[in-house]
């Protein structure tokens, strides 16, 4: 922020109209969500005509059995996928970021991250074909497995980047002071890595909660998650009820992403070598 | 004998074929303040890490108190380290940092508490037990690192350039404190530095390293006064070096004829050093005098002209161009106002005490 306040003569900020262009961009970015949120409080059944403020659609959504089922599925899938994916991602980050450089560790790093850049539909089709090949019946279990897998790179990234900013000499210092490898991990590596693990877990949770394409492919009958439920309801037209559900989903995502950011930020004050601070 | 290193070599996998350490043989005694001195990249830190157990030798053996330890992990060696940038645990308080080693050794808590207090008193940080490392100054962090490494009472303390991050005044104070601490605790200190002043002022013995090899091991006095190679003569202290050859005539003191023809009087030259190719003299062992006053002095046969002078307060450094063309630096202590009297352009004679000029071989 300090950089923004100190206006340099030739910085971008000093151009006339910089503020309004920025405002316009942000408006375009957020206007669809704004419409969604506003109309979720609409008393009128017609989605695009404002009929006054009301919470009736939230109440209606809360008593909708199909919706409750979908929400429960979402929660179960997200919690299990998050826990398993974060554990695997932590182990992968430690293996690639610490210890002996093994042959192909660079290639491994790319392999872990590649799914983030592949079109999701390809992963979705591939996952479905894979389950079909194994003869697995589509159910909640197949969703959990698919989610666990695609959550790993999301959890891996913040953990790995946290590990990279951590001073490897701290672990050496621990082992120099009679800590066994397990002690060094418990008392030094783990506490310092925690902000990365938490923020990786939150990211994984949000990604799992919001996923549609893969889930739609591998969901069995009655095992759809919230996004899948929303989509099926949309076939009967956009109702304010859908807006209400989406708003709740949006709020949960924003809270988790924000929390993930603040956890990572709060942890960063501990990670720098102490000598770099006055 | 505390530490015995035998034919240690270290080649890093994936690095160049050039060894980081090449056939190191070294014995370090009980209660010794031993310094590994050398320029960056000479292998001194690698040698320290081998002793600590962070690295393993490619070949050779390491004995700690008579036991071979090449396969022993760091946590099983009675050796603690003060790291160059301290490596304090940022998520632990000063007291937790200092007590870490004792906790890992599973000492009972009632035993650890007084020990932490004792260590903090020793390094004069009593009031800061509950601060975090990032709330401390560099000098305080350094003391915490020292207290943490000493708390478990190691038999050997390894110090990896621990003073390099401090400002010069604090560094001078810490030199005195470290030396006192070593003498009072009786622990063997192995100190790594590239600073010859630190090495000379604190050590009982010094090993000078260059390009992975030990150049010379000896007391500070040995290293400074009687260097055995050009590298040691030039790396430790200031030196004037002359190329040329030794002239040994029966019944006369040996002399060194520089390549420009000047004759330098030599003192005792080692008998085995029959073909030295270099002579050197420390700048502070030279005096300057009026050419006429010293005309008959056999120790003042070099003549030249002052071409530059640096006034340093305690001393003045004169640059003297000799008749043959070599430039000599003479460091004259300003004991009285009269010592600072030669101006640039003045003709002088250079007087050296007997034995001030010494020789070393070219290759070594």
pLDDT of B163 higher than 70: yes
- The phi-psi region of residue B7 (left if phi > 0; otherwise alpha if psi is between -120 and 50; otherwise beta) is left
The C-alpha atoms of residue A24 and residue A258 are separated, in whole angstroms, by 23
The domain segmentation of chain A, as residue ranges, is: 65-268
- Selected residue with higher pLDDT from B23 and B353: B23
Characterize the bridge pairing of strands B240-247 and B213-218. unpaired
Distance from the Cα of A94 to chain B's closest Cα (Å) equals 18
Cα–Cα nearest to A177, from B157, B165, B132, B131: B157
Question: A186: nearest CA in chain B?
Answer: B104
Residue with tokens 């179960």, as numbered in its chain: A76
| pLDDT band for position A275 (cuts 50, 70, 90) | very low
Residues of chain B with pLDDT > 70, as a percent, come to 95
Indicate the residue of B76, B87, B134 with minimum beta-carbon distance to A172: B87
Q: How many CB atoms lie within 10 A of CB A103?
A: 8
Identify the top-confidence range among B235-244, B274-283, B337-346.
B235-244
pLDDT of A7 higher than 60: no
Q: Return the exposure string of B5-25: e unless at least 16 CB atoms fall within 10 Å of the residue's CB, then b.
A: bbebebbeeeeeeebbbbebe
Residues B36-61: what's their mean pLDDT?
92
Contact present, B38 and B193 (Cβ < 8 Å): no
Rounded to 10 degrees, the C-alpha dihedral A226/A229/A234/A240 comes to: -50
Is the CB of A170 less than 8 angstroms away from the CB of B87? Answer: yes
Interchain contact B99–A (C-beta under 8 A): no
- Selected residue with higher pLDDT from A63 and B337: A63
Chain A residues with CB under 8 Å of B85 CB are 167, 169, 273, 275
pLDDT at A246: 85
pLDDT of B221 higher than 90: yes
| pLDDT band for position B324 (cuts 50, 70, 90) | confident
Indicate the residue of B54, B91, B148 with minimum beta-carbon distance to A177: B148
Within the 155-214 window of chain A, which residues sit less than 8 Å (CB to CB) from chain B?
167, 169-170, 172-180, 183, 187-188, 191-192
Interchain contact B12–A (C-beta under 8 A): no
Distance from the Cα of A172 to chain B's closest Cα (Å) equals 7
Residue with tokens 């000598």, as numbered in its chain: A275
pLDDT of A205 higher than 90: yes
pLDDT of B35 higher than 50: yes
Is the CB of B100 less than 8 angstroms away from the CB of A176? Answer: no
pLDDT at B269: 61
pLDDT at B255: 82
- Selected residue with higher pLDDT from A104 and B245: B245
Is the CB of A173 less than 8 angstroms away from the CB of B138? Answer: no
Q: How far is CA A195 from the centre of its chain?
A: 15
Is the CB of A188 less than 8 angstroms away from the CB of B136? Answer: no
pLDDT at B230: 87
Residues B152-173: what's their mean pLDDT?
88
Ranges A98-107, A154-163, A218-227, B73-82: which has the least confidence:
A98-107
The C-alpha atoms of residue B47 and residue B207 are separated, in whole angstroms, by 12
CB pairs under 8 A between A and B: 83
The C-alpha atoms of residue B4 and residue B27 are separated, in whole angstroms, by 5
Is the CB of B75 less than 8 angstroms away from the CB of A269? Answer: no
Q: How many CA atoms lie within 13 Å of A244's alpha carbon, on the beta-carbon side?
A: 20
What predicted TM-score, i.e. pTM, was given to this entire model? 0.80
Identify the top-confidence range among A257-266, B127-136, B317-326.
B127-136
The residues facing B216 across adjacent strands are B208
The tokens for B102 are 């004792």
Distance from the Cα of A81 to chain B's closest Cα (Å) equals 30
- Selected residue with higher pLDDT from B78 and A278: B78
Q: Helix or strand or coil: residue B210?
A: strand
Within the 133-172 window of chain B, which residues sit less than 8 Å (CB to CB) from chain A?
133-134, 136-138, 141, 148-149, 152, 165
In CATH, the number for domain A65-268 is: 1.10.3720.10
Phi, psi of B280 (to 5 degrees): -140, 160
Interchain contact B88–A (C-beta under 8 A): yes
Q: How many CB atoms lie within 10 A of CB B124?
A: 12
pLDDT at A277: 38
Ranges A228-232, B111-115, B291-295, B312-316: which has the least confidence:
B291-295
pLDDT of A36 higher than 60: yes
pLDDT of A3 higher than 50: no
| pLDDT band for position A274 (cuts 50, 70, 90) | very low
Residues A254-269: what's their mean pLDDT?
78
Contact present, B85 and B161 (Cβ < 8 Å): no
Question: B149: nearest CA in chain A?
Answer: A177
pLDDT of A80 higher than 80: yes
pLDDT at B147: 93
Indicate the residue of B76, B91, B141 with minimum beta-carbon distance to A192: B91
Contact present, B86 and B160 (Cβ < 8 Å): no
Distance from the Cα of B324 to chain A's closest Cα (Å) equals 52
Q: Which ranges of B152-213 does DSSP label H, i.e. alpha helix?
A: 168-185, 196-202
> Which of B88, B90, B106, B148 best probes binding to A when mutated, by most A CB atoms within 10 angstroms?
B90
Identify the top-confidence range among A1-15, A142-156, B153-167, B173-187.
A142-156
Is the CB of B91 less than 8 angstroms away from the CB of A270? Answer: yes
Residue with tokens 């993930």, as numbered in its chain: A260
Extended strands (E) in B58-193: 59-64, 67-68, 79-82, 156-160, 188-193
pLDDT of B14 higher than 80: no
Residue with tokens 């030794």, as numbered in its chain: B246
Three-state secondary structure readout of A70-129: HHHHHHHHHHHHHHHHHHHHHHHHHHHHCCCCCCCHHHHHHHHHHHHCCCHHHHHHHHHH
Cα–Cα nearest to B152, from B84, B62, B75: B75
pLDDT at B244: 85
pLDDT at A252: 86
- Selected residue with higher pLDDT from B129 and B341: B129
Contact present, B189 and B157 (Cβ < 8 Å): yes
Rounded to 10 degrees, the C-alpha dihedral B213/B204/B169/B128 comes to: 100
Indicate the residue of A180, A183, A275 with minimum beta-carbon distance to B165: A275
Summarize pLDDT for B101-110 with one digit per residue, the tens: 999 999 999 9
Ranges A69-83, A164-178, B62-76, B294-308: which has the least confidence:
B294-308
Residues B313-321: what's their mean pLDDT?
91
Average pLDDT, chain B: 88
pLDDT of A276 higher than 60: no
Ranges A15-29, A144-158, A236-250: which has the least confidence:
A236-250
Residue with tokens 């005792």, as numbered in its chain: B268
The tokens for B206 are 């010094």
Within the 37-66 window of chain B, which residues sit less than 8 Å (CB to CB) from chain A?
52-54
Residues of chain B with pLDDT > 90, as a percent, come to 51
**The dihedral sign for the CA sequence B356, B360, B362, B364:** negative
pLDDT of A98 higher than 80: no
């Amino acid at each position: 922020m300090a950089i923004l306040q100190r206006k340099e003569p030739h910085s971008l900020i000093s151009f006339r109209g910089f503020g309004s262009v920025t405002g316009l961009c942000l408006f375009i970015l957020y206007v669809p969500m704004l419409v969604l949120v506003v109309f979720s409080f609409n008393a009128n059944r017609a989605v695009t005509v404002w009929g006054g403020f009301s919470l009736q659609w939230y109440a209606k959504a809360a008593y909708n059995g199909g919706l409750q089922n979908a929400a429960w599925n979402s929660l179960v899938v997200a919690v299990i996928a998050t826990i398993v994916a974060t554990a695997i991602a932590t182990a992968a980050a430690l293996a690639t970021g610490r210890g002996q450089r093994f042959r192909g560790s660079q290639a491994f790093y790319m392999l872990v991250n590649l799914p983030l850049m592949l079109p999701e539909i390809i992963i979705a089709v591939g996952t479905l074909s894979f389950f079909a090949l194994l003869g697995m019946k589509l159910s909640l279990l197949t969703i959990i497995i698919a989610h666990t897998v695609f959550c790993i790179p999301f959890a891996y990234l913040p953990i790995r980047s946290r590990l990279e900013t951590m001073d490897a000499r701290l672990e050496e210092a621990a082992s120099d002071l009679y800590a066994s490898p397990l002690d060094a991990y418990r008392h030094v590596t783990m506490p310092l890595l925690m902000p990365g693990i938490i923020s990786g877990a939150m990211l994984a949770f949000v990604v799992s909660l919001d996923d549609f394409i893969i889930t739609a492919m591998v969901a069995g009958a009655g095992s759809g998650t919230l996004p899948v439920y929303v989509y099926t309801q949309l076939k009967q037209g956009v109702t304010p009820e859908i807006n209400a559900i989406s708003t709740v989903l949006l709020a949960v995502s924003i809270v988790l992403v924000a929390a993930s950011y603040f956890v990572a930020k709060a942890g960063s004050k501990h990670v720098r070598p102490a000598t770099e601070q006055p | 004998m505390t530490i015995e290193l035998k034919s240690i070599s270290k080649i890093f996998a994936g690095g160049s074929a050039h060894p980081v350490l090449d056939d190191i043989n070294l014995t370090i005694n009980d209660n010794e303040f031993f310094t590994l001195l050398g320029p960056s990249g000479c292998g001194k830190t690698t040698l320290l890490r081998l002793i600590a157990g962070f690295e393993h030798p490619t070949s050779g053996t390491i004995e700690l108190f008579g036991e071979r330890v090449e396969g022993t992990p760091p946590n099983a060696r009675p050796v603690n380290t003060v790291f160059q940038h301290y490596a304090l645990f940022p998520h632990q308080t000063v007291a937790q940092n200092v007590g870490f080693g004792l906790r890992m050794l599973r000492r009972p808590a009632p035993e650890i508490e007084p020990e932490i207090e004792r260590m903090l008193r020793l390094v004069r940080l009593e009031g800061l037990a509950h601060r975090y490392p990032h709330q401390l100054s560099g000098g305080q962090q350094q003391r915490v690192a020292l207290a943490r490494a000493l708390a478990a009472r190691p038999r050997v303390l390894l110090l990896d350039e621990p003073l390099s991050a401090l400002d010069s005044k604090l560094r001078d104070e810490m030199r005195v404190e470290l030396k006192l601490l070593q003498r009072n605790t009786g622990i063997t200190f192995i100190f790594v530095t590239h600073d010859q002043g630190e090495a000379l002022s604190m050590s009982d013995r010094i090993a000078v390293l260059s390009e992975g090899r030990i150049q010379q091991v000896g007391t500070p006095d040995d290293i400074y006064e009687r260097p055995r190679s050009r590298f040691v003569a030039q790396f430790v202290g200031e030196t004037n070096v002359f190329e040329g050859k030794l002239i040994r005539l029966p019944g006369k003191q040996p002399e060194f004829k520089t390549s420009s023809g000047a004759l330098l009087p030599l003192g005792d030259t080692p008998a085995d050093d029959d073909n030295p190719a270099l002579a050197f003299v420390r700048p502070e062992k030279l005096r300057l005098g009026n050419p006429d006053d010293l005309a008959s002095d056999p120790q003042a046969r070099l003549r030249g002209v002052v071409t530059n002078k640096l006034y340093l307060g305690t001393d003045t450094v004169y640059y003297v161009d000799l008749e043959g063309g070599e430039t000599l630096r003479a460091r004259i202590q300003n004991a009285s106002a009269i010592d600072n009297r030669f101006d640039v352009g003045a003709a002088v004679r250079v007087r050296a005490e007997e034995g001030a000029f010494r020789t070393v071989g070219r290759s070594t």
